[in-house]
Structure 1
Amino acid sequence: MPLITISQDYGSHGYYVAQRVAQELQLELHDDETLRQAAVKMGVEKENLDALKEQVPGFFDRLMGYKPDVYLNVLQSVVYTMASKNNGVIVGHGSQLLLKDFGCALHIRIITPADKRIRYFIEEKGLDEEVATKLVQEKDQEFKNFFRYAFNMDINDPLLYDLVLNTDKIGIETLISHIIQLAQSNDISECSIDALAIMKCRALEMKIREKLIQSDVTTKGIKIKVTEPGNILIHGVVYDEVEQQRIRVVLDTIAELDDARVNIAVAPKDG
């Protein structure tokens, strides 16, 4: 059974679709809460869990020293870790882009015209028209801004998806049936052992980068190569012996590491 990523327009019932698809195919659903739980198990600091909110860090986050690279590394590490479990339904969080190069991942986008979504919030949620309109517009812009910030891409780019479904033209039950049928078809294969290994390697690399940045290590001059799950080669140049030592301390805290070859030089002082 393949990996399935599902992203949606806000208010297009994409989360319900993801729940049903996961239930029908007996797959694990990776949503906001399960991703946060996974991040905690991976050792992500609680103050960095906001990386999973799919929001651009605000002015005060940056003012108070929030590090954008940490934000993105946490996000990628968690998504790759979940994907490396071999199957499941991942809701949002850039998974459609992070996993786009894996043939075993099926990427679904669920859309609904804005006026239909506004009407849903008015009739089903009891919001007045002004509030409903503002909610839909703000959420659409929020997700668009996040995707641009995180990946420098348009979340509505159809090339990111294998299937784009419009709930204005297709009923929810029919839509769910189409996704299940495609997921079970011969066109979508299971993830190979090599593909799962690559996901694990990417997850480990992002975790290491996040920990280094959190420890005030300048990573610009550092290359990290995960040769296989658990084994890394890290080399490059840092500014002083303190940073050099911090790298070794960080690596010692990462439980997934079996072997780390470190070749870090200290840049010579001017004069």
Structure 2
Amino acid sequence: MAVITIFRQAGCKGRYIAERLVRSLDYHLADYGTAERLMLQCGYETTPKVYESVPDLWDRFTRRGMERDEINSMLRSVTLAIAHHGNVVSLGRGCFAPLQGLCDVINVRVKAPLPLRIERVSEEHQLTMEEAAVYVAEKDALNADFARTSYGLSPDDITLFDIVIDTGKVEPDTAVEWLTEAASDLKCKEGDPTAAALKVDRVLERAVNKEFRRRERLRSK
């Protein structure tokens, strides 16, 4: 019951890798949409209407104050509950941060050279190269600020990750193969801390189970 977290920057093919890894392992995918649904189910619909779209929700993480702190606390609880469930690939800006030192968790960073990232973003979003460069810079700043203000960490600290993959050198499909093998061969020693043993909020635990069962029903149709 492994957990794989994937931190990526725009243009690194991180979502591509995550989605295909989910298929390869028959795991669940948890991303910002998953977190938003769980947060809303557990009471955040009563917060002032700042979460009307996914971008609005995540853009809030760069703003200081009580609102950001409350969201971050809830998000950390959601991240832990998802990891506790197991058999999941978590794709997000900071999902690696609260899951350090757990033997059944593989924290992955996906990177690529900046020129290649800009080129990919230009093609994927039909932007000019100049527009793509601005887009990438803004996303990088948002990611870095989120990790710093929410967890006091830098995603540029490679010691926070178990595996770092450069998709400028390694094809994304090869990365999927590597990570599939890593998850399949993952072993824990007796007494090692695990995500499966985390103490999590019971309401969130039930919400996560319900959400993943819902997805399983949709897949089976």
Q: Give the CA deviation at 1:83.
A: 1.3
Task: Tell me, in whole angstroms, the C-alpha distance in 1 between the residues paired with 2:10 and 2:154.
Answer: 15
Task: Tell me, in whole angstroms, the C-alpha distance in 1 between the residues paired with 2:145 and 2:186.
Answer: 36
Task: Tell me, in whole angstroms, the C-alpha distance in 2 between the residues paired with 1:159 and 1:33.
Answer: 28
Verify the 8 A CA contact 2:83 2:195 in the aligned structure 1: no
Instruction: Give the partner amino acid of 1:144.
Output: A
Q: How does 1:27-176 map to 2 (within 5 A)?
A: 27-45=27-45, 47=47, 49=51, 53=58, 55-58=60-63, 62=65, 66-176=66-176
Query: Per the alignment, in what secondary structure is the counterpart of residue 6 of structure 1?
Result: strand
Task: Tell me, in whole angstroms, the C-alpha distance in 1 between the residues paired with 2:84 and 2:29.
Answer: 14
Query: Per the alignment, in what secondary structure is the counterpart of residue 82 of structure 1?
Result: helix
**Runs of at least 5 residues in structure 1 that lack an aligned partner in the other structure:** 208-228, 230-271
Cα distance change of structure 1 residues 73 and 91 upon mapping to structure 2, 3 Å threshold:
same
Q: How does 1:225-240 map to 2 (within 5 A)?
A: none
Instruction: Give the partner amino acid of 2:34.
Output: T
Q: How does 1:236-255 map to 2 (within 5 A)?
A: none
Instruction: Give the partner amino acid of 1:27.
Output: Y
Deviations 1:210-269 (CA, angstroms, capped at 9, x unpaired): xxxxxxxxxxxxxxxxxxx9xxxxxxxxxxxxxxxxxxxxxxxxxxxxxxxxxxxxxxxx
Cα distance change of structure 1 residues 198 and 170 upon mapping to structure 2, 3 Å threshold:
same
Partner of residue 183, structure 2: 183
Q: Give the CA deviation at 1:94.
A: 1.5
Q: Give the CA deviation at 1:138.
A: 1.0
Please, what TM-score do these two structures have when normalized by structure 2? Answer: 0.79
Query: Per the alignment, in what secondary structure is the counterpart of residue 20 of structure 1?
Result: helix
Instruction: Give the partner amino acid of 2:17.
Output: V
Query: Per the alignment, in what secondary structure is the counterpart of residue 45 of structure 1?
Result: helix
Task: Tell me, in whole angstroms, the C-alpha distance in 2 between the residues paired with 1:37 and 1:136.
Answer: 26
Percent identical: 26
Verify the 8 A CA contact 2:8 2:109 in the aligned structure 1: yes
Verify the 8 A CA contact 1:4 1:90 in the aligned structure 2: yes
Instruction: Give the partner amino acid of 1:89.
Output: V
Verify the 8 A CA contact 2:8 2:93 in the aligned structure 1: no
Query: Per the alignment, in what secondary structure is the counterpart of residue 40 of structure 1?
Result: helix
Task: Tell me, in whole angstroms, the C-alpha distance in 1 between the residues paired with 2:194 and 2:135.
Answer: 43
Verify the 8 A CA contact 1:2 1:188 in the aligned structure 2: no
Task: Tell me, in whole angstroms, the C-alpha distance in 2 between the residues paired with 1:194 and 1:163.
Answer: 18
Cα distance change of structure 1 residues 101 and 193 upon mapping to structure 2, 3 Å threshold:
closer
Query: Per the alignment, in what secondary structure is the counterpart of residue 115 of structure 1?
Result: helix
Query: Considering only aligned residues, what root-mean-square deviation do their CA atoms show, in Å?
Result: 2.8
Task: Tell me, in whole angstroms, the C-alpha distance in 1 between the residues paired with 2:194 and 2:141.
Answer: 37
Task: Tell me, in whole angstroms, the C-alpha distance in 1 between the residues paired with 2:169 and 2:17.
Answer: 15
Cα distance change of structure 1 residues 97 and 57 upon mapping to structure 2, 3 Å threshold:
closer
Verify the 8 A CA contact 2:60 2:68 in the aligned structure 1: no
Greater share of residues in helix: 2
Greater share of residues in strand: 1
Please, what TM-score do these two structures have when normalized by structure 1? Answer: 0.65
Cα distance change of structure 1 residues 171 and 55 upon mapping to structure 2, 3 Å threshold:
farther
Task: Tell me, in whole angstroms, the C-alpha distance in 2 between the residues paired with 1:45 and 1:77.
Answer: 17
